[in-house]
Copies of this chain bind each other. A is one copy, B any other.
């Protein structure tokens, strides 16, 4: 496997994640191919010099690349992986940026040997989608999860680590199943809680009185619903587990409040604050960890 500085890179999906990756890779790779269905996105990417060439779809005729980064919603990633042997007969290394990893790693494991592949999930984003929201520093200092394929040779991981270093992120290797259970709890559940809040508060008269607490708790409800649909459908069991746990917690505090059980209510509130304080201490110390970038 060649060094990143000699690696021609193709990015499928020039949205927030793919576009930011292209911006962050400028100067680190000799060639960038953008693949995006939207003509306006391709035009903008070429006009702004974000990619060297742009094509509508990955076809056998599209320019050759050494590394293909799949930056579309998860089910489009799965579809591309299935068709990859026909689309790229000569093979190439493959990395994805999908938000769930079990289904992606399973599909990667089914690829022929000429496709050294690894699952990836950068733990960053914005609630604004699209190339217009892309930023060269989106990945800087952020955790970038890698999910290697079982029994895979190290080539794909070595190249992915070079890419992660080039964009200033921090690699964390995680088993795909463990990754999916974790993001269900810390990403997909918060999204659903924000959505439930926003759906129940779809009323201007409420917004006039709302302040920063509502704003922050509701923020994830602005996420791209198409991306979230794929995430939820490809991480169904883990999300259902996390949802059931949250519903149990809400039922407990509702019962305590309905019963006027002040002791139970105080315990519920205090445990939440204690956990939050421990989380904040953990995060404030995280920049001291080996390998962390600030």
Q: Let me know if B193 and A223 touch, CB within 8 A.
A: no
A202 to B, closest residue via Cβ = B275
Given contacts A193-B196, A216-B216, A257-B240, contact A229 B275 (CB under 8 A): no
Q: List 5 additional contacts besides A201-B275, A216-B220; criterion CB under 8 Å.
A: A195-B269, A196-B272, A208-B286, A233-B262, A250-B250
In Å, the complex CA distance between A186 and B210 comes to: 6
Interface size class of A (residues with CB under 8 A): 35 or more
User: Which of A44-52, A108-116, A277-285 is near enough to bind chain B?
Assistant: A277-285
Question: Does A183 belong to the interface (CB within 8 Å)?
Answer: yes
* B residues in contact with A198, CB < 8 Å: 272, 275-276, 279
Given contacts A143-B209, A225-B273, A246-B196, contact A239 B257 (CB under 8 A): yes
* B residues in contact with A189, CB < 8 Å: 197, 200-201
Given contacts A206-B186, A269-B229, contact A253 B197 (CB under 8 A): no
Min CB distance A265 to B, Å, is 6
Which residues between 253 and 294 of chain A lie within 8 Å of chain B, taking CB atoms? Answer: 253-254, 257-258, 260, 262, 265-266, 268-273, 275-280, 282-283, 286
